[in-house]
Amino acid sequence: MKLLYKDVDKEGEGTVGLIAEEPEDMWHAYNLISEGDLVRSTTIRKVQSESATGSSTSNRVRTTLTICVENIDFDTQACVLRLKGRNVEENQYVKMGAYHTLDLELNRKFSLKKHEWDSIALERVDVACDPVQTADVAAVIMQEGLAHVCLITSSMTLIRAKIDVTIPRKRKGFVQQHEKGLNKFYDNVMQAILRHINFDIVKCILIASPGFVRDQFYEYMFQMAIKTDNKVLLDNKSKFMLVHASSGFKHSLKEVLQDSGVINKISDTKAAGEVKALEGFYTMLQCEPAKAFYGKKHCESANEAQAIETLLISDNLFRCSNVALRKEYVKLVDSVRETGGEVKIFSSMHISGEQLDNLTGVAAILRFPMPELEDEESDDEN
């Protein structure tokens, strides 16, 4: 993301001009824009014009529109952000108040005006515009008959392909069917890798599985690569890394990102940091339950006592349409920072973020035990 200008006054009202450069920036934009914001960008609109004789023609024109956002749609697979709202600036093609749906495009400037830029939003702009490129990692999580091919970027984990085949079990005298099914499965996974992974960008490809599936697959893949003389695979052989995982389901990615070998290789990705933080929370919950709490109510009471050392919060909570609720969460984050606590904002697109979302979206590790909180009725009903 490129920041063109930032014009935010003391009250927090103002406009920011941005250019999205990669698909991931769309994710940041999705997290920035909330309902009621004004977005100005160039777009294509179908305009109908009526000639003097009464025949109507329609043609598509490129025009710049400003809309007041009413509906936000994010396609995670294609990384496309779609904003729907009413036009607030009339021009020759579009009347005031007419509905329009903006598709934010890559490499085109857009400006975002908010009535209130809170700390979270401003921080998001900073993060998004950080030019330091983090390593892109691809991972293949597999078990016999099931594989997920995913891309892990700094703030998103994208499932690119899911391969789910039934492989006949080995049975007396029918071993061939099992082995044939297995080979077909490996072939599918290999095709998915070739199709979805861009070896120029990806720095490392993790192949994770229980048992020997990964070794078998690795062997199969390179045998096939030699057979078909696939240069791309052979050139990138060193990028592959075999890791243990307990199953082929998506959440096993968590285990993969905790593997020490993987941490060394991808060191600074947000994904690995988040997994570690969440693990820390669970460990604390096991060892000292009075120092780990989750749920909004518990976290807020802990914050009142200035007890929060680390706050884990999912960005999902800041995307809610309820402005008052969002403000409460922003206040929580700000006050934790003020009291010297650390705040980790999890991306809900990562595995750990997904898990945090299921765990009410907010969790805290405390400085000192607060057993009195345990007796309080938690609010995990909502």
Partner 1 sequence: MSRHRNVRSINVNEEYEGYDDVYGHSVEDDYCVSPSEAAFMYDREGSKNKQKIGAFFQSVNDIAEENEGENESKEANLSDIDKARLESCVDQIRQIVSSGIPRQELVNIILLYNFNVEKAINFILGCPQYNHITEKKAVVPKDVDPSNIKVVTPGTKTTNITKGFDLVQKEVNRLNVTPRSQSPASGRATPTPDQNDEGKNLKQKESKFDVNVQYKKERGNAKENLYMVVIGHVDAGKSTLMGHLLCALGQVNQKTMHKYEQESRKVGKQSFMYAWVLDETGEERNRGITMDVGRSQFETETKLVTLLDAPGHKDFIPNMISGAGQADVALLVVDATRGEFETGFDFGGQTREHALLVRSLGVSQLAVAINKLDTVSWSQERFKEITQKLKLFLKHAGFKENDVTFVPCSGLTGQNLTGKPTENELLQWYAGPCLLDVIDNFRTPERPIAKPFRFSINDVFKGTGSNFCVSGRVETGTLSLGERILVCPSREMATVKGLAIEEVSQQTVFAGDQVSVTLSGIDIQNVSIGYILCLSQNPVQIASKFQARIVVFNVTVPMTKGYSVVMHHQSLVEPVIVSKLINQLHKSTGEIINKHPRCLSNNSSAMVEIQASRPLALELYSECKELGRIMLRVGGVTIAAGLITKIVL
Structure tokens that stand for 278 in this block = 């969440």
Give whichever of 29 and 139 is closer to partner 1, judged by the CB atom: 139
Q: Are 321 and 35 in contact (CB under 8 A)?
A: yes
- Taking the complex as a whole, the smallest distance from the CB of residue 9 to partner 1 amounts, in Å, to 40
Cβ at position 124, least distance to partner 1 in Å: 25
Residue 88 one-letter amino acid: V
- Chain mean position to CA 208: 21
- Give the Å distances, CA to CA, from 137 to 31, 39, 263, 323: 22, 33, 12, 35
Q: How many C-alpha atoms does 73 have within 13 Å on its Cβ side?
A: 11
Residue pair 194/232 in contact (Cβ under 8 Å)? The answer is yes
Q: How far is residue 370's CA from residue 307's CA, in Å, rounded to a whole number?
A: 8
Interacting residues of 201 by C-beta distance below 8 A, sequence separation 6+: 136
Binding residues for partner 1, rule: CB under 8 A, are 143, 166, 168-172, 174-175, 177-179, 210-212, 216, 244, 246-247, 249-252, 255, 279, 282-283, 285-286, 289, 293-294, 354-355, 357-360, 374, 377-378, 380-381
C-beta closer to partner 1: residue 104 or 351: 351
Contact 279/362 with Cβ under 8 angstroms?
no
Nearer to partner 1, 82 or 250 (CB): 250
- Nearest CB to partner 1, comparing residues 68 and 165: 165
Neighbouring residues of 242: CB distance < 8 A, sequence distance ≥ 6: 207, 208, 214, 215, 218
Closest distance between partner 1 and the C-beta of residue 16, in Å?
34
Least distance to partner 1, CB of residue 248, Å: 9
Please, which residue, 23 or 210, has the CB nearer to partner 1?
210
Q: Whole-number minimum distance, CB 356 to partner 1, in Å?
A: 8
Q: To which residue do tokens 């396609």 refer? A: 75
Minimal distance in Å, beta carbon 15 to partner 1?
38
Torsion of CA 95, 98, 103, 108, to 10 degrees: 30
What distance separates the 2 farthest-apart alpha carbons in the chain? Answer: 83
In the bound complex, what is the minimum distance in angstroms from residue 195's beta carbon to partner 1? 22
- Edge-to-edge, what's the strand order for the sheet holding 308-314? 292-294, 362-366, 308-314, 342-346
User: Whole-number minimum distance, CB 108 to partner 1, in Å?
Assistant: 37
Q: Which of 200, 334, 206 is nearest to 263 (CA)?
A: 206
CA angle 192, 193, 195 (to 5 degrees): 65
Which two structure tokens, joined as six digits, stand for 262? 């993987």
Nearer to partner 1, 123 or 179 (CB): 179
**Cβ closest to partner 1, residue 334 vs residue 357:** 357
Q: What are phi and psi of 20, to 5 degrees?
A: -80, 130
Pair 118, 14: CB distance under 8 Å: no
Closest CB 175 distance from partner 1, rounded Å:
5
State which residue, 151 or 213, has the beta carbon closest to partner 1: 213
CB atoms within 10 A of CB 82: 14
Least separation in angstroms between residue 348's CB and partner 1 is: 13
Nearer to partner 1, 110 or 294 (CB): 294
Among residues 17 and 210, whose Cβ is nearest to partner 1? 210
